[in-house]
Each structure stands twice: as C-alpha cells, then as structure tokens.
Amino acid sequence: MHKQFDYLVNKIETAKFLNKPFKHIYIKNFFSQEDISKLLLADQINIPTMSDDKSLIKELHKEGFKAITFPGSVTSPRKYIDWHTKKKHFSFMDSKHHAACEGFGMVFRLVKFNDNFLEDVNNFFASDKLNQTLAKKFDLSLNDCESDSGIQKYLDGYEISPHPDVRRKALTFMININPDQDSEKINYHTKYLKFKKEFSYIERFWSENKKIDTNWVPWSWTENVFTQTKNNSIVIFSPSSKTMHGVKASYNHLISQRTQIYGNLWYKNNPADNLTVEWQNLQIQNNAIAINHTYKNKFHRIIPSQLKKLIKKAYFDRINIRKYK
C-alpha cells in the first residue's frame, strides 16, 4: 500500500546521526521533487490569501482542518481572535498559557481529505512500516509505544518556549511542507537549542531525576544552535534532558501558514511520576536561590534530596556552584 514511499524509509534507515546540539537525524530534500511539488500545490495545503483571521479559520474548516488541543495554542477561535487582533492580555490568565511564553496560536490538523495523494501521505506516516523504522533507528520497542501523526497548520502567535519534551514522549519528527516560496525567511521555524552555561545545571538536574518531568523554560536561559528553516526537511529525535527546542511564530498567516507533517511515538506507560518543578523554582542566580515563596512549601515537598542539599548549601554558604554546571 505504501510502496510509493519506500524511498523515505530507506532515507531514514541510512541517515547518520548528528550530535549538535543533541543526538538527532536531519535530512534535507526528504521527499522527492515530484512528491514535494504535489504536496505544496495541493489545494488543502496552499490555502488562498485571506482578508482576516475569521475568514482564514473559516477557510481552514472548509478545507478539512480541525482545531486541536496542542501545546502553545488554544482551540477557541473567539479567544484567539480577541487576543490576536486586540492583544487583550486577559487571555494570559488562562491556566493553559505557560508563564515562559508571550503568546499563543491555534493549531489545525487535516482530518478530511479531498486529495488522494495527501491522504496517502497521511496514511504512510501513521503506518506500522514507518513507525517500526523509526523505533528501530532509535532503539525503541514499538510494542511499548503508541503513535500519533498528522498534517498540521500553526497560526501566528504559536509559541512553545524552550523544552526537551515530556518524559512520556519516546520520539518526535517534524517535516516542513510550507507552501510559501519564501518560507525559509519567515519567522516561524523550530529552533534547536542548548542551555546557556549558567543554566546548564538544570539539564543535569533533569538527567539525574528521571521520575520528575521536564518543563518549559524562558528563552533567555538558552541559546540557539540550529534553526530548521529548510523546506522539505525532516528532524527526528528521541527526547532526553538535552533535547531543547522551541518555536515562537511571528508572521502574517493570512498569506500562507506554517505547515508541517508532525508525529510522535508515546510510551504507553509514563516513565515519570506526576511531578514537575516549574522554571521559577529552578532559578539559581548570583550564587543564591531565587524561589517564589508562594511555591516554597510545595517545592520543598517534591524536590529530590540531592537538589535540596544544593539549594541549602548555595543559599547559606554562598558557594560557587560551577561544579554543578
């Protein structure tokens, strides 16, 4: 059924791993020229220019897209349009909005297909053949995982601040299929990052406390190593404490939209406990600990003993914490 895409399987199987800023696969010109042309020219991908946000969202629905619950986004058109057109900051009081972000977007997934080729592509990325290939490449057991993938569009404001992905995610991939001819110059691409030296202790904390989930952190704590601007490129990685990445889209989505084939493998059983430490409670500055006292008691209950000792020593003795970095 998916033999037409066997060449994509072969590209993944033979790809070499890159290690900066973390272990991943990066393949340019992933689809053949014939296939990427079909993708980019498909009516459901190449949406015509719209006059306003309301018209765009209406057109996306007409073309078979559905707003989905997704990090860095909301599903309510009213709420999104209110914020996007009027910049009403009351939206940031929503509990779903992360404190390390300045905005949010809407994410739409293609769920009804008018184009047989698009449907074939979508089915291929959901197939056991593709997922077995991905799992084998990254030494994962597909029996321990479940898959999720789709063709997605992301509206202006979409933002996920730097994060390594939650523990339950076993693998993720992103393929740029942006219809705009100048897409590589547009500010909506995924950035692959590393912690600045003064914040690298957080990576070590996550590495040594795998039962505690990771979290999003402010952009100012990281530095960009690589931005996936190339159209028809794919990045694949298996999340770890090092796999920092983020997106902050700022562009005119009325002309064209950020578009990807996006997918994940998820562990059926979450390897982490239901615990996380918010970024505000992990900040160490000037050899002292900056802890929001509102969270102090909660933080004390869930933080591992190793970090408690570090906090106590840094706070009372004013030690140089470079050895923990």
What pLDDT was estimated at residue 140? 98
- pLDDT tens by residue, 151-208: 999 999 999 999 999 999 999 999 999 999 999 999 999 999 999 999 999 999 999 9
Reported as half-sphere exposure (CB side, CA atoms, 13 A), residue 58 has a value of 7
Element (H, E) at 234: strand 234-237
CA distance 184 to 161: 20
What pLDDT was estimated at residue 214? 95
CA distance from start to end of the chain: 51
**Exposed, middle or buried, 296 (CB in 10 Å: 0-12/13-18/19+)?**
exposed
**Do residues 259 and 107 lie in contact, with contact meaning Cβ atoms separated by under 8 Å?**
no
- pLDDT tens by residue, 6-54: 999 999 999 999 999 999 999 999 999 999 999 999 999 999 999 999 9
When the pLDDT of each residue in the chain is averaged and rounded to a whole number, the result is 87
Q: CA distances (Å), 176 to each of 199, 229, 281, in order?
A: 30, 8, 35
Q: Which amino acid is located at 25 in the chain?
A: I
What pLDDT was estimated at residue 280? 87
Q: Domain residues of the chain, as ranges?
A: 3-198+219-267, 279-324
Entry pTM? 0.86
> So what CATH class is 3-198+219-267?
mainly beta
When mean pLDDT is compared across 68-72, 94-98, 157-161, 272-276, the lowest value belongs to 94-98
Highest-scoring range by mean pLDDT, 81-85, 86-90, 101-105, 163-167: 163-167
CA distance 280 to 290: 8
CA distance 119 to 100: 36
What pLDDT was estimated at residue 104? 87
Pick from 103, 73, 79, 88: nearest CA to 219: 103
**Do residues 157 and 81 lie in contact, with contact meaning Cβ atoms separated by under 8 Å?**
no
CA distance 145 to 309: 36
* pLDDT at 209 > cutoff 70: yes
CA distance 278 to 299: 9
What pLDDT was estimated at residue 313? 44
Residue 116 CB neighbours (<10 A): 8
